[in-house]
């Protein structure tokens, strides 16, 4: 029911539509967790500093605690519940699993969503604060551990699983490169 301080909105989350009334002050994080029981997205600081609530909005990383639910209407929202394809884990999830990129796991959904965003930003050639050559024609820089640490620096891990997190992101990036190379060579043969 709409009122001066609330609206009925429709959110597109993980390929599904959810229609719900929300107070205009409701954050996307609270809408996900408290209203839609999508509790994979975690609340850490609730003030944009820890990255635990990271989701993808139209494929870009965003902290859901600083986003109003009403402002997310019309965006494609992807949460950790939506990154796998059925039983097939996303390559970033698989790498975190294989390389123990977590300890308690509380920061992990945010780390994984952030890493998916990082790989996309990197593939698009976006530089980071530690990229040496930021000329567009230089293309994506090598995804070194320093690059990964900088690009993932918005996601804190109180367990200190950073070493394995960096390795997992590097593994997922390398797997993605291999897949792209195989696809390109298959297309060349066809
Ligand atoms: S809970 Fe959103 S950044 Fe910490
Ligand atoms: S694995 Fe525990 S906070 Fe990161």
Domain CATH for 147 = 1.10.150.120
Decide: 50 in ligand 1 pocket, CB within 6 A. Answer: yes
Q: Which of 82, 115, 130 is the last residue of a domain?
A: 82
What residue ranges line ligand 2, CB within 6 angstroms? 102-108, 157-159, 161
181: containing domain: 91-189
Nearest ligand 2 atom to the CA of 160 is 4
- Does 184 reside within a domain? yes
Whether residue 98 sits in one domain with residue 78: no
Place of tokens 């390795």: 167
Q: Which of 82, 109, 130 is the last residue of a domain?
A: 82
pLDDT at 182: 56
pLDDT at 139: 86
- Does 116 reside within a domain? yes
Distance CA 61, CA 138 (A): 24
Distance CA 105, CA 102 (A): 5
Nearest ligand 2 atom to the CA of 158 is 3
How far does the centroid of ligand 1 lie from the alpha carbon of residue 52, in Å? 5
pLDDT at 183: 57
Mutate which of 50, 57, 106 to test ligand 1's pocket (most atoms within 8 Å of Cβ)? 50
What string of pLDDT tens digits covers the 190 residues of the chain?
558 899 999 999 999 999 999 999 999 999 999 999 999 999 999 999 999 999 999 999 999 999 999 999 999 999 999 999 999 999 999 999 999 999 999 999 999 999 999 999 999 999 999 999 999 888 889 999 999 999 999 999 999 999 999 999 999 999 876 665 555 656 665 5
- Does 112 reside within a domain? yes
pLDDT at 2: 59
Whether residue 141 sits in one domain with residue 75: no
Q: Nearest ligand, CA of residue 41?
A: 1
pLDDT at 176: 76
Whether residue 175 sits in one domain with residue 97: yes
- Does 144 reside within a domain? yes
- If DSSP codes are grouped into helix, strand and coil, which group holds residue 3? strand
How far does the centroid of ligand 1 lie from the alpha carbon of residue 110, in Å? 9
pLDDT at 114: 98
Q: How far apart are the first and last CA of the chain?
A: 56
- Does 1 reside within a domain? no
Q: Which of 34, 61, 82 is the last residue of a domain?
A: 82
Count structural domains, the chain: 2
How far does the centroid of ligand 1 lie from the alpha carbon of residue 135, in Å? 32
């Amino acid at each position: 029911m709409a009122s001066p301080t609330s609206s009925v909105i429709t959110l597109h989350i993980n390929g599904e539509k959810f229609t719900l009334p929300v107070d205009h002050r409701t954050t996307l994080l609270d809408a996900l967790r408290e209203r839609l029981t999508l509790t994979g997205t975690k609340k850490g600081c609730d003030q944009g500093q820890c990255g635990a609530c990271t989701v993808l909005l139209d494929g870009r990383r965003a902290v859901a605690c600083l986003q109003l639910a009403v402002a997310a209407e019309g965006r494609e929202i992807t949460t950790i519940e939506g990154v796998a394809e059925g039983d097939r884990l996303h390559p970033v999830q698989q790498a975190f699993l294989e390389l123990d990129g977590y300890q308690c796991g509380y920061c992990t959904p945010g780390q994984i969503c952030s890493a998916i965003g990082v790989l996309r930003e990197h593939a698009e050639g976006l530089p980071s604060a530690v990229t040496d050559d930021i000329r567009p024609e230089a293309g994506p820089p090598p995804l070194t551990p320093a690059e990964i640490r900088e690009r993932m620096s918005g996601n804190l891990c109180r367990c200190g699983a950073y070493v394995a997190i960096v390795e997992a992101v590097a593994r997922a990036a390398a797997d993605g490169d291999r897949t792209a190379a195989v696809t390109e060579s298959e297309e060349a043969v066809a």
